[in-house]
Amino acid sequence: MAEMKFEDALKKLEKIVGDLESGELSLDEALKKYQEGIELSRQCSQRLDNAKKKIDVLTKNKKGDFELKPLSESQDQEQDA
């Protein structure tokens, strides 16, 4: 499947879910749509993971100084507090 913009992939995925929920597709059509939806879901998830890795969070340490940390590390500290 060709790469498409995240927003376009998400819209297409929402359309597929709607089509599947309608119950009007034949079994073959439903399976084809389901497979396409799984691939789109995988692409969207991968893009979100890549975007998350790029996000850094500016936080204040105990001394009051600001420091950049990866988002996941910042979230871990919030949960520990």
* Three-state SS at 69: strand
Instruction: List, for residues 47-66, the tens digit of each pLDDT value.
Output: 998 887 777 677 778 888 88
**Beta bridge mates, 70:** 56
**Could you tell me the two tokens for 52?**
């998350």
Sign of CA dihedral 57, 62, 66, 69: negative
Q: From residue 40, give the alpha-carbon distance in Å to each of 14, 18, 32, 53, 54.
A: 10, 14, 12, 20, 21
- pTM greater than 0.85 (yes/no): no
pLDDT mean over 32-43: 96
User: What is the spatial distance between Cα 5 and Cα 3, in angstroms, rounded to a whole number?
Assistant: 7
Q: What is the mean pLDDT of the chain?
A: 86
